[in-house]
Amino acid sequence: MSRYWEEMQYEQPDTAKLKKKAADTAKREKSKGKILEPILIKGRKITQTWWGNAWCENLEKYADYSSRLDRGKRYVRTGTVVDLKIEKGKVTARVQGRRKTPYKVEVRISPMSEIRCQEIIEICGNRIHNLETLVSGNIPEELKNVFTSDDGLFPKPKEIAFNCSCPDWAIMCKHVAAVLYGIGARFDEDPLLFFRLRGIDVERFISVTLESRVEKMLKNVNHKSNRILDDGMVGELFGI
């Protein structure tokens, strides 16, 4: 019998049970009026965007995580991450396991230094079309380094701390691994969450950058003899 079939036979009932339990949890929580934000993987791949993919590749680079990541990947695909919320420096999630009540997972990410935050803001705000693209929910690929470089937005293992309420004594249980992949899937939908997670106030950063941009433009206009915004400048200002 091929290894594939052995695995399928071993895992299928388990997966079906987990799915059922996750669905029961969603129903139960809904009836209590709680709003869950589940991770639902639709396609074959966990992430679809270049930045989501880069997040997963980044996780897979860390040797310390490698033994648990595969199980985490299967877990997140099964729909066991029934709730995942991202805020500044912290991800809280609930992951369905064998028990009726889902396990509580918390992933803490160290804040970035003020100086590095400022540098990142400057890099991102440097070009108006980058800002526009960010506001529209995309990340221009030319900003890839901002995420993946050594001091980029993606945290290193030493900047990540996690815990799970399950009885697994491993350094990283499959629930935590599933949440780490779930973060990638959530980032796929809203890339600005990256900035929030690392402590950068995105709305403020965008409005401050736009303001200083407009100020600079107006100064330039005043230097012009006719003091009229020509088409080129309008285009530059609005990225058209």
What is the smallest separation between the CB atom of 39 and Zn ion, expressed in angstroms?
A: 16
Residue 84 or 131 with smaller CB distance to Zn ion: 84
Q: What is the three-class DSSP state of 161?
A: strand
Q: Which residues contact 82 (CB under 8 A, 6 or more apart)?
A: 22, 25, 26, 29, 36, 38, 94, 95, 96, 102
Print burial letters for 55-67: b (CB count within 10 Å at least 16), e (below 16). bbebbeeeeebee
What is the smallest separation between the CB atom of 106 and Zn ion, expressed in angstroms?
A: 11
Residue 138 or 165 with smaller CB distance to Zn ion: 165
Which spans of this chain sit near Zn ion (rule: CB under 5 A)? 164, 166, 168, 173, 175
What is the smallest separation between the CB atom of 47 and Zn ion, expressed in angstroms?
A: 22
What is the smallest separation between the CB atom of 172 and Zn ion, expressed in angstroms?
A: 9
Q: Which residues contact 78 (CB under 8 A, 6 or more apart)?
A: 15, 18, 19, 22
- Round the CA-based radius of gyration of the chain to a whole number and report it: 22
State how far the Cα of 83 lies from the Cα of 76, in Å rounded to an integer. Answer: 11
Residue 21 or 175 with smaller CB distance to Zn ion: 175
Residue 139 or 166 with smaller CB distance to Zn ion: 166
